[in-house]
């Protein structure tokens, strides 16, 4: 695998699909509803607005909110970026200490509607969401074996898919990786958002490489010595070692979904995996020394990310050459990771569900 491998080259969990189709022929084919996991408290110096947008990106809405409120863009926040090529619903926060609520109605049009608003006592921060609900439509579906596609859907529902970062994380022709390498080699990047984007691209790429290597070895659903296991629904993890041995009790926790396999989010410090698991991860990243060292020098710390992604409350329906899918995913995961295990040649565009 080369340094510019695309998502289509990452290893599959359920084997490469044979069906083909198109996603996002129109924005209504890709609907996202943000799940914050909490409700605004009703008081405070922050105004939270729940906005539905069609064909608009998150940053543009934020700039317009700042303009109407007469504040700097820094005073407008959101929990997660949402796709432009979609119909999405998400919360925005506007910091207005001691000020009355502006009239935001001038923002509304056929593509932008304010669905709810409320006061809150805390800033809405990046990552402060539980997950997202998705309703997707795959058009022009061409299936050689309908029974195989149905079985694949059932397998995805039961076992999940690789938790890969999508192609858009890396930029056009993997340009964000090129920028990351240039930054690591001394190029000054003054724009803080761009710096963050390039760091994220490098880290995400290394995760995908390690995850793909694990899957290609046939070990995507099998525990091994030295594995790092994440507690389901949290960022906490522990390593299989003498204190946490690979015994029947741990295997039962893994089988029940209480703990999950993970792959590295590279950074400074000792790789927390050990023995055979560490050897596999280090081998996968052996040709990416520049990215690994660059992330370490930027001060990022070793973290973990679940190896597999399991859609929740997943359902589907066929209607001629259309496949409708709905499911819930935790924050930071990609709906297109689900779709890529179902169909090839889908028009994925952007897919940001963070």
Q: What residues are annotated to the active site?
A: 83
Identify the CA nearest to 229 among candidates 250, 210, 247, 209.
Answer: 250
Contact 258, 310 (CB under 8 A): no
State the Cα–Cα distance between residues 306 and 244, nearest whole angstrom: 19
Please state the three-class secondary structure of the chain as a single string.
Answer: CCCCCCHHHCCCCCCCCCCEEEECCCHHHEEEEEECCCCCCCCCCEEEEEEEEECCCHHHHHHHHHHHHCCCHHHEEECCCECCCCEEEEEEEEECCCCCCCCHHHHCECCEEEEEEEEECCCCCCCCCCEEEEEEEEEEEECCCHHHHHHHHHHHHHHCEECCCCHHHHCHHHHHHHHHHHHHCCCCCCCHHHHHHHHHHHHHHHHHHHHHHHHHCCCCCCCCCCCEEEECCCCCEEECCCCCCCCHHHHHHHHHCCEEEEEEECCECCCCCCHHHHHHHHHHCCCCHHHHHHHHHCCCECEEEECEECCEEEEEEEECCEEEEEEEEECCCCHHHHHCCCCECCCCCCCCEC
State the Cα–Cα distance between residues 19 and 149, nearest whole angstrom: 7
Sheet containing strand 237-239, edge to edge, reads: 237-239, 228-231, 259-265, 303-306
* Encoded tokens for 339: 């779709």
Contact 183, 26 (CB under 8 A): no
């Amino acid at each position: 695998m080369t340094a510019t491998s695309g998502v289509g080259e990452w290893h599959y969990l359920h084997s490469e699909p044979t069906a083909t189709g198109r996603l996002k022929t129109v924005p209504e084919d890709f609907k996202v509803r943000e799940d914050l996991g909490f409700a605004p408290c009703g008081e405070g110096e922050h105004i939270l607005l729940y906005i539905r947008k069609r064909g608009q990106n998150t940053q543009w809405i934020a700039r317009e909110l700042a303009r109407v409120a007469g504040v700097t863009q820094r005073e407008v926040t959101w929990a997660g970026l949402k796709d432009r090529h979609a119909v999405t619903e998400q919360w925005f926060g506007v910091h207005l200490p001691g000020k009355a609520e502006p009239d935001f109605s001038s923002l509304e049009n056929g593509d932008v509607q304010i669905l709810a608003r409320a006061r809150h006592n805390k800033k809405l921060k990046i990552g402060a969401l539980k997950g997202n609900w998705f309703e997707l439509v795959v058009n022009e579906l061409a299936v050689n074996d309908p029974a195989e596609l149905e079985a694949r859907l059932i397998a995805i529902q039961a076992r999940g898919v690789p938790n890969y970062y999508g192609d858009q994380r890396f930029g056009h022709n993997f340009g964000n990786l090129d920028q990351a390498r240039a930054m690591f080699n001394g190029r000054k990047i003054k724009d803080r958002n761009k710096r963050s984007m390039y760091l994220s691209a490098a880290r995400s790429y290394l995760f995908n490489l390690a995850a793909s290597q694990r899957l290609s070895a046939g070990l995507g659903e099998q525990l091994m010595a030295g594995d790092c296991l994440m507690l389901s629904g949290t960022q906490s993890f522990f390593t299989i070692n003498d204190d946490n041995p690979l015994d029947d009790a741990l295997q039962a926790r893994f089988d029940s979904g209480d703990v999950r396999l993970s792959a590295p989010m590279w950074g400074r410090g000792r790789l927390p995996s050990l023995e055979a698991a560490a050897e596999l991860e280090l081998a996968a990243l052996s040709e990416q020394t520049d990215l690994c060292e660059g992330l370490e020098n930027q001060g990022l710390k070793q973290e973990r990310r679940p190896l597999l992604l399991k859609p929740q409350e997943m359902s589907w329906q066929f209607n001629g050459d259309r496949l409708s899918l709905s499911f819930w995913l935790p924050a930071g995961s990609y709906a297109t990771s689900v779709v890529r295990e179902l169909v090839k040649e889908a028009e994925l565009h952007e897919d940001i569900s963070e």
